[in-house]
Amino acid sequence: MFDYLKKGLLTGVGLALRSKNEIEDLAKEFAEKSKMNQDEAKEFLADCQQKYEDAKTGFDQKIEGTIEKILLKLDLPSKSDIADLNKRIDDLTKKLSD
């Protein structure tokens, strides 16, 4: 039962949507209520923190990927495209001035 609850606590995007402090508080409370010894509680907290970081990183990557796909579909010029155009305009302006 304990392992089942532990796995349930550590899975999913729910970790990424909670703050790190909330996760730590939840892990500490769970450790106290389940009467873990100090070593088990430290290990559990470290596991929660690692799972939080993993979930957050994965969530951030998915968001970035989705945004990139949307921008590609919108066919908006990239920052480098605009910089290239500005350089060409500056070069042409200079040629016209000479």
Q: What is the pLDDT of residue 92?
A: 96
CA-CA distance, 58 to 63, in Å (whole number)?
Answer: 9
Q: At what angle do helices 38-74 and 20-33 cross, to 10 degrees?
A: 150
The arithmetic mean of pLDDT across residues 57-71, rounded, is: 82
Q: What is the pLDDT of residues 36-57, one digit of tens each?
A: 777 877 787 788 778 878 877 8
Res 57: pLDDT: 84
The pLDDT value recorded for residue 1 is 40
Quote the pLDDT of residue 95.
94
Its sign, for the CA torsion 90, 93, 95, 98, is negative
pLDDT at position 47: 82
In the prediction, which pLDDT does 13 show?
A: 47
| Angle in degrees, CA 88, 89, 95, rounded to 5 | 90
